[in-house]
């Protein structure tokens, strides 16, 4: 929605907006039937693909790795050089729940740094908060890991983890999102996906309206 990809009756949709019966709902110009069963997928995003549906430079999109489902859109983004857990759904309510700060969903990242594990003072600075060009940013948790750090955020700005670590003197060499809320990235190789089932939604604290049964994991393309 923030990217302007969702349109209702010819107008750009806003977070929290409700869709009335009979409304013309479109994502990336494609019509979405609001009475259809919602579908949600987990993808292990590989490095080198972008999250945008249409890239002006012709780079591969994550949507090419997922089933061709009308109205399917990613929940948030991972930049081209980042990897890990990415959700895609046709469920606008789920998108709102996982992107609006008032719902308190966290995202966890395993990060490798050029200079190895940050010192305790740097980790403490991340937890206290650092100044970025678009405002202060604070990690809910930042703990040491081999050659890097595990960091938990309650928001998701562009390149936020990389920028925060730059402030404390560490350039990121690899970044993998491991969790969205209580949902872990597990059992999927890079490029592979699976459809979410009831236990997955339970970990997200969300009850979808009439979800279809989860499907078996698919191999990367």
The token pair that represents 36 in the structure block: 């259809």
Q: Is 147 one of the annotated active-site residues of the chain? A: no
- Residue 147's region, left for phi above 0, alpha for psi from -120 to 50, else beta, is left
> Which residue is listed with tokens 């937890």?
127
> Which residue is listed with tokens 């977070």?
15
How many residues does the structure list for the chain?
221
**At CB < 8 A and 24+ separation, what contacts does 59-62 make?**
62/86, 62/88
In angstroms, the Cα distances linking 147 to 116, 118, 121, 125, 171 are: 4, 8, 16, 18, 12
Catalytic one of 68, 79, 134, 200: 79
Radius of gyration, CA atoms only, the chain: 18
Q: For residue 144, count other CB atoms closer than 10 A to its CB.
A: 15
CA–chain centroid gap for 137, Å, is 18
Q: Which residues pair with 184 in a beta bridge?
A: 179
- CA–CA gap between residue 73 and residue 52 (Å, rounded): 9
Question: Looking at the annotation, which residues are catalytic?
Answer: 79
């Amino acid at each position: 929605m923030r990217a302007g990809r969702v349109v209702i009756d010819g107008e750009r949709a806003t977070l929290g907006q409700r869709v009335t019966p009979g409304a013309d709902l479109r994502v990336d110009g494609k019509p979405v039937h609001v009475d259809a069963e919602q579908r949600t997928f987990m993808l292990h995003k590989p490095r080198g693909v972008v999250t945008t549906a249409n890239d002006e430079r012709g780079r591969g999109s994550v949507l090419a790795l997922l089933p061709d489902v009308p109205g399917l859109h990613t929940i948030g983004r991972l930049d081209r050089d980042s990897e890990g857990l990415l959700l895609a759904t046709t469920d606008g309510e789920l998108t709102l729940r996982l992107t609006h700060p008032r719902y308190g969903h966290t995202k966890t990242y395993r990060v490798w740094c050029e200079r190895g594990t940050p010192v305790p003072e740097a980790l403490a600075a991340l937890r206290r908060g650092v100044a970025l060009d678009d405002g202060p940013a604070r990690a809910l948790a930042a703990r040491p890991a081999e050659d890097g750090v595990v960091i938990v955020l309650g928001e998701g700005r562009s390149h936020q983890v990389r920028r925060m670590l730059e402030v404390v003197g560490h350039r990121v060499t690899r970044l993998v999102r491991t969790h969205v809320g209580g949902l872990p990235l597990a059992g999927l190789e890079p490029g592979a996906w699976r459809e979410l089932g009831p236990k997955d939604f339970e970990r997200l604290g969300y009850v979808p309206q009439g979800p279809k049964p989860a499907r078996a994991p698919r191999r990367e393309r």
